[in-house]
Structure 1
Amino acid sequence: MANRLIVGKGVRRNLGGRNKGPCMATNPIDRCWRCDPNWANNRQKLADCVQGFGRNTRGGKGGPFYIVTDPSDNDMVNPKPGTLRHAVTRNGPLWIIFSHNMMIFLKQELIMSSNKTIDGRGADVHIANGAGITIQYIKNVIIHGVKIYNIQVHGGGMIRDSEDHYGFRTQSDGDGISIFGASNVWIDHVSMKNCYDGLIDAIMGSTAITISNNHFTDHNEVMLFGASDGYSGDKIMQITVAFNHFGKRLVQRMPRCRFGFIHVVNNDYTHWEMYAIGGSQNPTIISEGNRFIGPDNINAKQVTKREYVTESVWKNWQWRSINDELMNGAYFTQSGPELKDRPFSRMDMIKAKPGTYVGRLTRYSGKLACRVGSPC
């Protein structure tokens, strides 16, 4: 097949690197914006490009631009103007960009307010070696084009979460991005690795989320959707996981789901050590057009894992594999009814290509090296 790109375990893609030929926006989200050389003059068009369950996410669209000029994070209650913490705690919509390359060491979790976009395009922005990002009881957040890694547990204290409120926070969990009781969230073209807890957790009734075009490496428990078998409020959860690359030195939870409806579409799973997709409490998981390259360990080739339940129960859960490409002995244990009548529109459930296309679709996953005046 002429347009099939095979990238196996022994091949290193130019992830996040600059394409030296003509612009190759290889999936429908990227085709919406990436090949426009004037993207920097029309940054907010990005908000029109989200697909899947997070498709109504607008982030800071319609609001002014806020330029982060200072990487410091020294005052949790009265953050310094020009810092990322000052930006994300302002009231009203903001489109947050960065004046130059920067390493941001968060002293405590970064608690965002609604209607914000963090847009790292045009700069090399690292959020690393400190606390992570918290999206709690808010809506309309886009995080795009940054690197998040080496996130640690931090002790808490008084932390501002909006212009008119701050309060006491207990110790943070050490997630890269924690989505807690939030809706309309889009995480796109982010490179993530090595956080203390999860890379991305979505819990406590969070919904309308799209996680797309990201590159994940070097982590144990990658993504958790639903934190407790006892919290049925997560039945409302609807999450799209699309066009991501699950790469080297990952172990499990890509994702691990409780309750909810999860559409896992056109992702590249090149590495896992235990399993790729797991869950409990009857989540609906539709795996469509993914590529699963099994590990060499003969005991870890199963893509799926049901936890804390017998087959007599899980056999009724709807976990379906549709046009996935299973390689190197990988196998997906299906259960429940076939997906005959899709319960959502094509706008909510991204139309999948077959798994054989995944190398191309995910070729530019992770943070892109965008330069002003050129296509990304």
Structure 2
Amino acid sequence: MAAMKLVGFILALSLAVLVPSLEAHIKEFDEYWQKRAEEASQAALEAFNPEPENVTAQFNANVNKVLDGNNSTRRQLHMHKYSGPCLATNPIDRCWRCRKNWAKDRKRLAKCVLGFGRKTKGGLKGKYYVVYDSSDNDVVNPKPGTLRHAVIQKRPLWIIFARSMVIRLNQELMMASHKTIDGRGANVHIAFGAGITIQFVRNVIIHNIRIHDIVTRPGGVIRDAVDHVGIRTMSDGDGISIFGSTNIWIDHVSMKRCQDGLIDAIEGSTAITISNGHYTHHNDVMLFGASDLYPRDKIMQVTVAFNHFGKGLIQRMPRCRWGFFHVVNNDYTHWLMYAIGGSSQPTIISQGNRFIAPPNLAAKEVTKRDYATPDVWRSWTWRSQGDLLINGAFFVQSGQPLRKKYGRKDMIKAKPGTFVRRLTRFSGTLNCKPKKRC
């Protein structure tokens, strides 16, 4: 009954005002963007799961199954730098990685996503598009063979790269729906320019690329679709910006030093999985929900799994508002302020993570709650299960204990934080070579 009320509440909000309440960097919200916003709103409602606990239970069952079959690899993975045979130590990687023919069967990847983004297929139904030109000289009429030309096409596409390259984006990269950016087999950097914008679209996979040193760009006239040119305001400097979008999977990315956030998901975005990433040298790492005044983000459901939060990080891993967030089997080896934070009554389920607190006695707490007094936030559901807390780290729980139907049977059964080092051993971009196991 509560879930039905929430869906009704969200539907009412979506029908009330189509123009986003926050800055969308769209200078002219014309008929094209109004239609795109309407379609995105409907897709978000369809993707919303009124029983998110069932998704977390399924995820944990998969983790447990993989680890039970990999006990023989435990000793090998304690090596500082692994150079042995291919090992896939979490259920997402096990689905595709250690196959010699991965390059001929790239689209198998679309079958491997778990968590809230589990229905994301990217460009599975489309043809391959090979990027062979790293330039980004014309953002109004992109040159064929460039990444910008690939991502604005109407049809589904599986985008791959002819060679290693550094792509410096002159303006934010505006993506269309049903696309996969697959960097396997090349060393692909998006760096020293604008970042990736996923706005009012659905069904996008970003896999095995490096994103770093992203800066703001002034905006202006940018082609955001084959048949539409729009005027954009200044971009924020996010590495990946997810805005009003649905069914998004970000996997095996390495990210650092972006002018704003590494990954932001806001304005009713939902059905998102962020997995196997390696994040370093940044302040505001991940922001889910940009405003305490935008309750439509109650629809937001995000899985953050198997990531390594490493050197030089300060806060927001993630920072959450309103929605439901499953933070599972991540390795937090560095933070300066806090690891997980939030406001506006988000539900945060932290499971089997490893938290190594910094030496600073004032920064031992994993959690941080903003803009609420204890008598208010005590009702928020922030629960820790099986987390490994090291060097004085502590997680302040709140809300009711987890319900038995997704707590005792599946979530506790999943492997605890002591296994995180194995699960995240191969986080970040992979050095994949054709005809060899990745």
Could you list the per-position Cα deviations for residues 33-82 of structure 1 after superposition, in whole angstroms to 9, with x for gaps in the alignment?
00001000000000000000000000000200000000000111110000
**5+ unaligned residues in a row in structure 1: which ranges?**
none
Letter in 2 for 1:97: I
Whether the 8 Å contact between 2:386 and 2:412 is mirrored in structure 1 is no
In structure 2, the partner of 1:364 is 426
The structure carrying a bigger helix percent of its residues is 2
Could you list the per-position Cα deviations for residues 115-161 of structure 1 after superposition, in whole angstroms to 9, with x for gaps in the alignment?
00000000000000000000000000000000000000000011111
**Is residue 289 of structure 2 the alignment partner of residue 226 of structure 1?**
yes
In structure 2, the partner of 1:237 is 300
Aligned positions of 1:259-278 closer than 5 A: 259-278=322-341
Shift of 1:343: 6.9
Letter in 2 for 1:331: F
Shift of 1:23: 1.1
Distance 1:163 1:177 in 2: 21
In structure 2, the partner of 1:59 is 122
Distance 1:24 1:219 in 2: 29
In structure 2, the partner of 1:202 is 265
In structure 1, the partner of 2:42 is none
Letter in 2 for 1:49: C
In structure 2, the partner of 1:116 is 179
In structure 2, the partner of 1:321 is 384
Describe the shift of the 1:119–1:292 C-alpha distance in structure 2 as closer, same or farther (beyond 3 A).
Answer: same
The match for 2:416 among 339, 354, 372 is 354
In structure 1, the partner of 2:225 is 162
Distance 1:221 1:30 in 2: 27
Letter in 2 for 1:26: T
Higher-RCO chain (CA-CA 8 Å, sequence separation at least 6)? 1
Whether the 8 Å contact between 1:4 and 1:359 is mirrored in structure 2 is no
Describe the shift of the 1:58–1:86 C-alpha distance in structure 2 as closer, same or farther (beyond 3 A).
Answer: same
Letter in 1 for 2:182: D
In structure 2, the partner of 1:83 is 146
Distance 1:43 1:167 in 2: 33
Distance 2:175 2:404 in 1: 38
Letter in 2 for 1:126: H
**Is residue 134 of structure 2 the alignment partner of residue 71 of structure 1?**
yes
Whether the 8 Å contact between 1:248 and 1:270 is mirrored in structure 2 is yes
Whether the 8 Å contact between 1:209 and 1:240 is mirrored in structure 2 is yes
Shift of 1:5: 6.8
Could you list the per-position Cα deviations for residues 74-116 of structure 1 after superposition, in whole angstroms to 9, with x for gaps in the alignment?
1111100000000000111000000000000000000000000
In structure 2, the partner of 1:337 is 400
Describe the shift of the 1:350–1:52 C-alpha distance in structure 2 as closer, same or farther (beyond 3 A).
Answer: farther
SS in 2 for 1:150: strand
Aligned positions of 1:138-157 closer than 5 A: 138-157=201-220
Whether the 8 Å contact between 1:76 and 1:160 is mirrored in structure 2 is yes
The match for 2:189 among 105, 115, 126 is 126
Shift of 1:305: 0.2
Distance 1:326 1:365 in 2: 21
Letter in 2 for 1:179: I
In structure 2, the partner of 1:307 is 370
Shift of 1:351: 7.8
Shift of 1:274: 0.1
Whether the 8 Å contact between 1:266 and 1:352 is mirrored in structure 2 is no
Distance 1:351 1:87 in 2: 43
The match for 1:191 among 242, 247, 254 is 254
Distance 1:57 1:139 in 2: 8
**5+ unaligned residues in a row in structure 2: which ranges?**
1-70
TM-score by length of 2: 0.81
Letter in 1 for 2:365: Q
Whether the 8 Å contact between 2:385 and 2:412 is mirrored in structure 1 is no
Tell me the number of residue pairs that the alignment of Structure 1 and Structure 2 aligns.
367
Whether the 8 Å contact between 1:304 and 1:333 is mirrored in structure 2 is yes
Letter in 1 for 2:213: N
Could you list the per-position Cα deviations for residues 315-342 of structure 1 after superposition, in whole angstroms to 9, with x for gaps in the alignment?
0000000000000100000000111145
Shift of 1:20: 3.0
Whether the 8 Å contact between 1:278 and 1:307 is mirrored in structure 2 is yes
Describe the shift of the 1:41–1:350 C-alpha distance in structure 2 as closer, same or farther (beyond 3 A).
Answer: farther
TM-score by length of 1: 0.94
Distance 1:255 1:194 in 2: 16
**Is residue 102 of structure 2 the alignment partner of residue 39 of structure 1?**
yes
Root-mean-square deviation (Å): 2.0
**Which is higher, the Rg of structure 1 or of structure 2?**
2
